Amino acid sequence: MIRAATVHDIAEIRAMIRELADYERAVEQARATEEQLREALFGEHPAAYALIAEDDDNGRTVGFALWFPRFSTWTGTRGMHLEDLYVRPDARGAGHGKNLLASLAALCLKNGYERFEWWVLAWNEPTIAFYKSLGVELLDEWKVCRLSGDPLGELAAQAPDSGASAA
């Protein structure tokens, strides 16, 4: 079963985020707290949304998908960015990942989103093969850019004092 996450799922979502980070060889980077996730998903102005995959036989949480809306200046429409998709190893192969992606695709169509995009690590061949089996197009010509830590602060310090605020 696929359902919308509730505030009662926060601890399980955090646990799965850490499991995913461990699989992706970056567990030390998964620092989000339960309180941060609660605010991000269920606060006054949610930053993201999540779906939960449960085992139909026992109701156990076996996976999740966390996403947020994005906007394309080229199409003039919103789209969906999938931040995390994770199915626990002992539940893989039972269709939970495909059901999560299909549910997200249905949300895209329901909301008029023209694009559904996410990233995948280049070394994650099993996942890439799974995505390709669904007809996913891998955009090799694009590179992900990230600015964080000291370089982010250094660039921010160069911002002109215009008084403008983006948020």
Active site residues: 131
Helix, strand, coil proportions of the chain in percent (round to 5)? 40, 20, 40
Q: Name the burial class of residue 65, with classes exposed (0-12), middle (13-18) and buried (19+) by CB atoms within 10 angstroms of its CB.
A: buried
Rounded CA separation 165/161 (Å): 10
Radius of gyration of the chain (CA): 17
